[in-house]
Structure 1
């Protein structure tokens, strides 16, 4: 009985740790910029098939729900990701999913040349110049990495970053400890100030 209780407590602690890290990452390097126009940047993930894979489908859903979280007008969704092994760009596959399955009828822009997160950020910058607020939608650690890259490349635009709706308590709960471990790996190059949480 004690062993079972111990395992339950360890399991609960691991789940809580995964939730906490993802929550923290979703709130790092974002501010409270205001304005009527915004861009939601949805980052693609490796997609060898001819339709959006499960991770890209989730990212699209997170991006779309980020557009309606605060009722902003003048919102554009930017899907970012280059060609996959079958020749289609991740950006196009995500846009197709948003329009055909989610029936999203808002403004959509494609950035279909990037192969890395750094390139995602570099290539979407021209599409962000005229908006008041910028949201990055992906898994929280990946979105934080992109926000840090924007801060390095264009600190003036990084001042416009606000939180996307890509973290919700209990969503992906069982997978969040694995996402947290992966996040620690991909964020290992960030500086301390790039992990800062602004509440």
Structure 2
């Protein structure tokens, strides 16, 4: 009985830790943002098949949910990611899913050359120059890494970063401890200042 209780407590603690850490990452390196010109950047995930995989479908939905309802007509959505294998680029696969499956008819741009997160940011920078509000969408740890990269490459643009809809309490709960562990590994190169939660 004690073992069962201990395992249950450990399981609940792991789930709570995963929720807390993902929520924290979602709120790091973002501000309030001013102005009306909004750009939502959706980062691609390895997608060797012709249709969007589970992760890319989630990222597209999170990206579209991140569009401010009052700024729909002023918002550009940039899908970024190159080809993995013989299939279409990650960017094109996500854009196709947004249009065909979700009925999105807004302003879409594609960045189809990137192979890494650093390249994602480097290649979309010219498309962000006139934005008042910049939103980068992925799983919370990956999005934080991308925001840190934008801060390193263009601190002036990083000041325009705002929060996105990439964290919801209870969504992916079972997977969040694993996502948190993986996130800690992928974020090991960030400085403490780059992990700071925005007020």
- Say yes or no: TM over 0.5: yes
Q: What's the CA shift for 1:195?
A: 0.3
Q: What's the CA shift for 1:6?
A: 1.2
Mapped partners of 2:176, 2:190: distance in 1: 20
Match of 2:169 in 1: 169
Q: What's the CA shift for 1:83?
A: 1.2
Paired residue secondary structure (2:99): helix
Q: 1:1-199 residue pairs with structure 2 within 5 A?
A: 1-68=1-68, 71-73=70-72, 74-199=74-199
Q: What's the CA shift for 1:34?
A: 1.3
Mapped partners of 2:34, 2:8: distance in 1: 44
Mapped partners of 2:175, 2:63: distance in 1: 20
Mapped partners of 1:160, 1:90: distance in 2: 25
Mapped partners of 2:140, 2:6: distance in 1: 30
The gaps in structure 2 that reach 5 residues or longer are: none
Deviations 1:42-68 (A, max 9, x none): 000011111111100000000000014
Deviations 1:64-83 (A, max 9, x none): 00014x53240111000001
Mapped partners of 2:181, 2:70: distance in 1: 34
TM, length-normalised to structure 2? 0.97
Q: What's the CA shift for 1:2?
A: 2.2
Moved over 3 A (4+): none
Mapped partners of 1:6, 1:185: distance in 2: 27
Paired residue secondary structure (2:109): strand
Paired residue secondary structure (2:66): helix
Alpha-carbon RMSD across the aligned residues, in angstroms, is: 0.9
